[in-house]
Amino acid sequence: MGGDGRPGDGGGGGAGHPHQFQYQALLAAVHTQNPNHNHNHNHNHNLPFPLPPLNGPGPDASTHNAARQPPTPRGFADWSASTSAFTSLAVQSTPSTATANAYHYSLSPCYAFWTHYMLNKNAYSYYPAPNQEHTHPFSLDNNQAKDPGSIPNFGIESFNTTSLAPSMSAHMPPMEGPLSTKEPEASEDMPARVVAIKDERDARNGIELKCETVDALPELKQGHESCATKFNSGEYQVILRKELTKSDVANVGRIVLPKKDAEASLPPLCERDPVILQMDDMVLPVTWKFKYRFWPNNKSRMYILDSTSEFVKTHGLQAGDALIIYKNPVPGKYIVRGEKAIQQTN
DNA sequence: GCAATTGCATGATTT
DNA sequence: AAAATCATGCAATTG
């Protein structure tokens, strides 16, 4: 049955996925649009932010599972092609001492930067610009600060990231720059505590999440890996990370989610009724609509994220890559990102 | 009848 | 060793 969370609307021609190409074209576009853009370093000035024609990011990225973002501010959604520049930057490995199966959790600088930028740019009342006293190769120095479209900086606080998951922090390269005002890394056996936006409780059908105050999370269940990225009064918290398996990417567009994380951070699934989760793509101007549900399994449950094939294809995710879900300051939504595994250079 | 989806069972791993 | 979790294959269902 197609009930699939196809895009904004009944995905008529589900079979062909011409859209992935559009997305990719979108991504690629930036490169050509911003020839100056140096892929490797020195982004501290003259960042490729030719600024988004808010009225129309061009490509018809609005179909399918994903709905194009409206020109209005919505969490991470409000951006345009220029932003995809970050994608290109993302392809870089980290110096991590990666162990064999190490998590390649790396908010690569580009992402960090992107986030940094976008938050500043789009957050409106949510997130004023990040603290600029951080110096970092990617620090936004003056650029976005001058972005006419950005909101004024109200007393910026620090933008920090707190890594919690033992497993994650263990491999997560210390985030640099703006993102690295990180707390003393939680050591492997020391799961840290995280402050999180508490809203799961109120999350009824995944649509009415209420973004309340920042509050101490009771206790992210043991082992729950999480990473809170803090921006002033708001936080971006990694609520779930899944290293994709063959079946996650090759199958029928469904990804098995780690039970613990799913139960801890996604809307509760009371019945068998699936819940549609809207997730803003972290690098594309689209909002994915995934069907979140579970299968009874033995005496337990298996949590599934459905209708993910477009997302996977669009990001070219393969086994070994990862799916990362963040909490979105926008009530009822999440932010999703596909993370390519770091290629190991022997 | 076929292809795409969905639901479930089972074996492998991990805890 | 037992229990829990998860990856995956496959049957059932749907369009």
Nucleotide nearest residue A274, measured CA to C1': B6
A1 CA, B6 C1': Å apart: 8
Nucleotides in chain B near protein beta carbons (<7 Å): 3-11
**Nucleotides of strand C under 7 angstroms from a protein beta carbon:** 4-9, 13-15
Written as tens digits, the pLDDT of chain A (346 aa) is 333 333 333 233 333 333 444 555 555 543 344 333 333 333 222 222 222 222 333 333 333 456 665 543 344 433 333 333 333 333 333 333 333 333 333 333 344 444 444 443 333 222 222 222 222 222 223 333 333 222 222 222 222 332 222 223 323 332 222 222 233 333 333 222 232 333 333 333 333 333 222 223 333 333 333 455 544 344 668 889 999 999 999 768 999 999 999 998 888 887 778 888 888 898 888 889 999 999 998 889 999 999 999 899 889 999 999 999 998 777 778 999 898 887 656 5
Sequence-separated (6 or more) residues with CB below 8 Å from residue A78: A52, A54, A69, A71, A72, A118, A121, A122, A285
pTM comes to 0.51
Tell me the domains of chain A and their CATH numbers. 66-339 (2.40.330.10)
By C1' distance from the Cα of A250, the closest nucleotide is C8
Question: In terms of C-beta density within 10 A (0-12 exposed, 13-18 middle, 19 or more buried), how is residue A70 classed?
Answer: middle
Distance of CA A327 to the CA centre of its chain: 8
